[in-house]
Structure 1
Amino acid sequence: MRDRFTRIALGAALLLLALFVAQPYVTAFLFSARAPRAITARGELAPAEAATVALFARASPSVVHVFVQAATEGRSPFGAEAEEGAEQEGGGSQTGTGFVWDAAGHIVTNNHVVASAAQGGATVSVRLATGAVVPARIVGTAPSYDLAVLQLGRTTPPPPLAIGTSADLKVGQAVYAIGNPFGLDHTLTTGVVSALQRRLPTAEGRELSGVIQTDAAINPGNSGGPLLDSAGRLIGVNTAIFSPSGASAGIGFAIPVDVVNRVVPELIRNGRTRNPGIGIIAGQEAIAARLGIDGVVVMRVLRGSPAAQAGLRGVDLQTGTLGDIIVAAGDRPVHRLADLTAALATAGVDATLDLTVERDGHTRRVRVTTTDVAEARR
């Protein structure tokens, strides 16, 4: 009896072992999909997805790829390194992004993308969304705002982007960036407005105030591309990233469209932008901070300038005695040079502006008339 039970148990164990070994083969034989599987209907896109798809379809034809080619083939016009924020390709080609501004075929991009061509010795071409490559010329540049305007050669330009405003932006609202990161055409990235009123250093020691910060991925090659709101309107021009690695770290910056909409028409009309100033050389902010000074230290007053005519006084270099400290411009407090330049930019050229200055512990108000500082240097 016991032997019979042992034989039955052993047989059952062998059967289970055989089934265990055979199971993958049986499953593969019975259930393998040896023909294309039936497609499952997905249904309608979610409303947010459909809106993003429609936005890209509407805006992307107006976004272009900008190429700057060195005159000497194989040699970069920038020397060993490319300009920050633009993509360096083989053969000395500098690339970036731009977008159509008007029906005349004007293209807006960053100044640092086309800086070598503006200085001479390089040519500019633009690749449209259709794939057509069109020669372009530089109409004007504004290094202080990192903006430039190109003019397409003979072609029918794509429609211009709709223009929005940056005055009513809110932190947290959705934004969309279209550009050519690392040379990859018409790439869409999305994010939100991460912060407002950032400051961004530009050329000639100036700072651009009111800059938009976003976490939409912006990489080298995105420079000069549009930042759009959820209605597909232009709200900024992507210009820089903050990243130790050189790739997107979720902190990108865009020039606000209200600045763009003021500067670009000037570049189209005159080839340059007028930079309002009063004719002072400001002291270094780091030194002012160490001295506990809240305001702009007037280091030197240029002869014949509006500041000189208004009686402003700089530092006495022989005794080291401080002169005037500008602490307000109009109704705006001035803590640093960017505050003063922002007030001057708002006022414009040939405008009257009241300054509040401190001298020898006393506060007084002086009235100055702004002038075009770039013209005054000629």
Structure 2
Amino acid sequence: MEDRFIRRLFAASFLLMALMLFWQTLPWIEELIVARQAQPRPVTPRGDLSEEEKATIELFERTKDSVVFIATTQAVIDPWSRNIYNIPKGTGSGFVWDRAGHIVTNYHVIAGASEARVRLSDGRDYHAVLIGASPRHDLAVLRINVPVRRPQPVMIGTSHDLKVGQKTFAIGNPFGLDWTLTTGIVSALDRSMTERNGAVIRQLIQTDAAINPGNSGGPLLDSAGRLIGVNTAIFSPSGAYAGIGFAIPVDTVNRIVPQLIAKGKYLEPSLGIETDDRINRLARARLGFDGVMILRTIPGSSAEKAGLRGITLYPDGSFDPGDIIVTIDRVPVHSKREIDEILEKHDVGDRVTVEISRNGRLLKKELILEPAQE
């Protein structure tokens, strides 16, 4: 009787252990069965792309061939052998300006370089020649000789009529990742930025389209695929994208680039006078006038020929303030910076009307803008 009970107990224990083992291996068996029967899942149809997506894709495909990759090298001297070597300096972006092979980019992309090469979107690579540059505007023009299948120049737009909130599209080569498209909006207008060389670039477009190192010199486009700016800088504590990028407005580019192509440099327009904001502030506080005091007229200049007068100093320390510029083309001015901003929209040879205050009387003089003395 006792043996039978033990046998039954042993059988029950064995059965329980077998059930437990089976229960533990059941998921593995199920997975094995499922794995043997696994098939690709059916694809859910996406449907048509949105109209906005279609427009963005079409804009990129239509414009990317007008964007170029720029690689620069720098000549260094081995102090031991005195041999000269070209080492990689950096990369940047640019775009095709015309059928003659002119390429527009930022000045800082090619500054200090001994050689630049331009690569087109189809992989063709060319040696580039520097045609002209304006460090003040951070613009440079290169030229490549493309004998056949010349790339299409970018379409030119306008920037004076931009509105905050308009869509923007940037194409460039951030961190050497070529032909990258980013999108955003016009975040702000009329920003100013001081370059390392001390030059102040004004009327910049601010955008949140992602701009990173390597995007410099690339085009900023509107939703019609037209150039509205040249990507030039970012504001970032880390040096990478932080949501604030700046572009040189196309109205400035379209005025400066033809001069760089024709003359190799930018001729800054001038009234032919000298002013100083610090002296002007002191004189305004003392005399209470509203405008910009002319310190002197440059001999032979249009200002001198028009009879404008600078200050006259007397031996006793007193002075005659001479002429005070009140407006230029009906725009009030209160500082040299404001005068520069007005002249920035003109070219050498343009005529401007200057309203001056002389001994309490308002006079109007017409001046022809001349190249600023270097």
Specify the TM-score bucket, using the shorter chain as the normaliser: 0.7 to 0.9
- 1:275-324 deviation line (CA, Å, top 9, x unaligned): 21123344246984997697545455434333444324259699496945
Tell me the residue number matched to 2:62: 58
Tell me the residue number matched to 1:257: 250
Matched residues in 2 for 1:26 and 1:289: separation? 92
Kept in 2, the 8 Å contact 1:278–1:368? The answer is no
| Pairs within 5 Å for 1:2-41 | 25=28, 28=31, 34-41=38-45
Pair 1:27–1:317, CA change in 2 (3 A): farther
Tell me the residue number matched to 1:302: 298
Matched residues in 1 for 2:298 and 2:202: separation? 25
- 1:316-346 deviation line (CA, Å, top 9, x unaligned): 6994969455342111122443432232233
Pair 1:307–1:49, CA change in 2 (3 A): same
Structure 2 unaligned blocks of 5 or more: 1-16, 80-85
- Tell me the number of residue pairs that the alignment of Structure 1 and Structure 2 aligns: 345
Q: Report the alpha carbon displacement of residue 97 of structure 1 after superposing the two structures with TM.
A: 0.8
Matched residues in 2 for 1:38 and 1:336: separation? 70
1:44 equivalent to 2:48? Answer yes
Tell me the residue number matched to 2:350: 351
- 1:211-241 deviation line (CA, Å, top 9, x unaligned): 2111111112111110001111111111122
Q: Report the alpha carbon displacement of residue 266 of structure 1 after superposing the two structures with TM.
A: 2.1
Kept in 2, the 8 Å contact 1:143–1:202? The answer is no
| Pairs within 5 Å for 1:241-280 | 241-280=234-273
1:145 equivalent to 2:141? Answer no
| More deviation, 175-184/246-255 | 246-255
1:151 corresponds to which letter in structure 2?
R
Tell me the residue number matched to 1:238: 231
Matched residues in 2 for 1:131 and 1:192: separation? 30
Q: Report the alpha carbon displacement of residue 74 of structure 1 after superposing the two structures with TM.
A: 8.9
Question: 1:190 is matched with which residue: 183, 188, 192?
Answer: 183
Pair 1:219–1:320, CA change in 2 (3 A): farther
Secondary structure in 2 aligned to 1:348? coil
Matched residues in 1 for 2:275 and 2:258: separation? 29
Pair 1:269–1:314, CA change in 2 (3 A): same
Matched residues in 1 for 2:126 and 2:314: separation? 55
Question: 2:310 is matched with which residue: 310, 313, 316?
Answer: 313
Matched residues in 2 for 1:320 and 1:95: separation? 57
Pair 1:307–1:54, CA change in 2 (3 A): same
Q: CA RMSD in A?
A: 3.7
| Pairs within 5 Å for 1:44-193 | 44-72=48-76, 91-117=87-113, 122-156=114-148, 157-193=150-186
Secondary structure in 2 aligned to 1:71? strand
Q: Report the alpha carbon displacement of residue 273 of structure 1 after superposing the two structures with TM.
A: 2.6
Sequence identity percentage: 45
Kept in 1, the 8 Å contact 2:280–2:292? The answer is no
1:369 equivalent to 2:367? Answer yes
Tell me the residue number matched to 2:3: none
Tell me the residue number matched to 2:7: none
Pair 1:357–1:209, CA change in 2 (3 A): farther
Kept in 2, the 8 Å contact 1:143–1:203? The answer is no
Matched residues in 2 for 1:175 and 1:166: separation? 12
1:59 corresponds to which letter in structure 2?
T
Structure 1 unaligned blocks of 5 or more: 1-13, 76-89
Pair 1:288–1:66, CA change in 2 (3 A): farther
* TM-score of the aligned structures, taking structure 1 as reference length: 0.77
Matched residues in 2 for 1:60 and 1:182: separation? 17
Tell me the residue number matched to 2:202: 209
Secondary structure in 1 aligned to 2:338? helix
Matched residues in 2 for 1:314 and 1:203: separation? 34
Matched residues in 1 for 2:228 and 2:145: separation? 27
